[in-house]
Amino acid sequence: MGKISRRNFIFGGLGIIGVGGAGLWFGKNAIFRAVIPRMFSNDASKVTAAPAVGEELCVLTAKQVEGPFFIASPVRSDIREDRKGKQLDLKLQVVNAEKCTPVEGAVVELWHCDAVGGYSGYPEELAHDPFGTMMLVGKGEHHVGPVNEKRFLRGAQKTDSEGIAAFTTIVPGWYEPRTPHIHFKVLFEDKAQLTSQFYFDPEFTTKVFTSTEPYKQFGESPYTLANDTVINKDPEATGLVLKPEWNPDGPLSASARIGIKRV
């Protein structure tokens, strides 16, 4: 009999509990949040900052899983639609990690949840319903087809001669059981080069979530770089933390170099 990973054991066990009628248990979010972070504790120091555009530094950006909520994005730079939240202007530069040279003509695709944790295309009420989310996505490793036509907070842009693609979005909120994050893909000549996720320092997200509507509805995230279920699965997470410049009275901005292998 093969070895069973801790993660598979945990989710398998939760599935068995669910069959036995543990919906009530999962509905008690306080208990869920007390237990799950302890199960997925990890070394947050492995999650390193993404080099900013203009820095004399390039790294090979670490891969992360796509997650269950990917939908092909419309081509646009402002991806907010009707979503309220703290504006975040992102400048992303795709570079050859080995030579630190810009990659022109790459497609950068972004998607993330809104300020209260909901993804477009999926039932928004599940963001803080861990049992309902579990029933929809299972282990969270495979794509789940969308259930509606909404496409807010999704967009794609082609990089210019400097390797840059720019987006206007909002700071993502949090949902069960993930730390705040932004999914992204890089494609070149119709071939996927990288799929990963950007993260934030918990001190930054706490400022946003405790001072700004509609984030204040759910407040500070109990999920961090140290207990996130996705980060825990990978041996490293190089170049993934965004460092937005804090502005309490206006839009925020951040930039990052995305280092890919030679194309």
pLDDT tens digits, 149-172: 999 999 999 999 999 999 999 999
Average confidence (pLDDT) over 140-148:
82
Give CA–CA dist 237/134, Å, rounded: 25
Angle between the N-to-C axes of helices 29-39 and 130-137, in degrees from 0 to 180, rounded to the nearest 10: 60
* Residue 86 pLDDT: 98
Q: Output the pTM of the full model.
A: 0.86
**pLDDT for residue 20:** 35
User: Which band of pLDDT confidence, cut at 50, 70 and 90, is reported for residue 235?
Assistant: confident
Stronger pLDDT, 166 or 124, i.e. the higher one: 166
Mean predicted confidence (pLDDT) in 208-233: 92
Give the tens place of pLDDT for each residue, 73-106: 999 999 999 999 999 999 999 999 999 999 999 9
What is the rounded average pLDDT for all residues in the chain? 86
If pLDDT is split at 50, 70 and 90, which confidence band does 61 have? very high
Ordered domains of the chain (ranges, CATH)? 6-260 (2.60.130.10)
pLDDT of residue 223: 92
Average pLDDT (185-202) is: 96
Region 138-149: mean pLDDT is 80
pLDDT at residue 37, as a whole number: 61
Predicted pLDDT at 180 = 98
Instruction: Check whether 126 has a pLDDT greater than 90.
Output: no
Bridge partners, residue 198, by sequence: 182
- DSSP per-residue codes, the chain: -----HHHHHHHHHHHHHHTTTHHHHH-HHHHHHHHHHHT---GGGEEEPPPTT-S----PPP----TT--PPPB-SB--TT--S-EEEEEEEEEETTTTEE-TT-EEEEE---TTSPPTTS-GGGGG-HHHHHHHHTTS-S----SS---TTEEEEE--TTSEEEEEEE----BTTB-SEEEEEEEETTEEEEEEEEEE-HHHHHHHHHHSTTGGGT-S-S--TTT-TTGGGSS-EEEEEE-PBP-TTS-EEEEEEEEE---
